[in-house]
Amino acid sequence: MGAAAGVEGRAVSEKPLSGRCLCGDIRFTVEGPLRPVLVCHCGQCRRMSGHLWAATAADRDGVRFAAQDTLRWFSSSDRARRGFCARCGSSLFWSHEDKQTLSIAAGALDSPTGLKTQAHIFFSDASDYYAVHPDEPTCPGSSD
């Protein structure tokens, strides 16, 4: 690997991942390290996404926006909020005020991501139509 060009002179081992919403009005890059993907089946994620919420997470300081005019935040609890595109409806972020990390929709990132799915959490809230891949562990709740 040569020097990473266009990364503001910072020495990074991998180039940042890029991501966007469906319509492209929100575009961003993420510098690692990134957490493995957790697939959340909690009632909130289920309803917000229409299915489940698969997310990685990174330090907030590593997330840079190239465009974010249509980014809106829905307060899903006293301390957590969910970021989405007001134009196309893509679910992109989950943010908790106690956390320095920002959760990022894994599916919004351009492939290949190099990420792996770690576990399915809050699986006790999953609806009855869904079967998880047998190689992927499930937890009824979350230790996070």
Q: Does 86 bind Zn ion (CB under 5 A)?
A: no
Six-digit token pair at 54? 């698969």
Calpha distance 38→2 (Å, rounded): 31
- Cβ closer to Zn ion: 23 or 114? 23
Cα torsion 37, 42, 46, 47: sign: negative
Angle subtended at Cα 102 by Cα 55 and Cα 135, rounded to the nearest 5 degrees: 25
Scan residues 33-62 and list those touching Zn ion (CB under 5 A): 40, 42, 45
Q: Does 125 bind Zn ion (CB under 5 A)?
A: no
- Cβ closer to Zn ion: 34 or 71? 71
From 8-16, 19-27, 99-107, 111-119, span contacting Zn ion (CB under 5 A): 19-27
Smallest gap, in angstroms, from Cβ of residue 94 to Zn ion? 8
Smallest gap, in angstroms, from Cβ of residue 109 to Zn ion? 15
Burial class (CB in 10 A: 0-12, 13-18, 19+), 96: middle
- The count of chain residues that interact with Zn ion, using the rule CB under 5 A, is 9
Our CA dihedral for 109, 41, 126, 51, rounded to 10 degrees, sits at -40
Q: Does 85 bind Zn ion (CB under 5 A)?
A: yes
Site residues for Zn ion per CB under 5 A: 21, 23, 25, 40, 42, 45, 85, 87-88
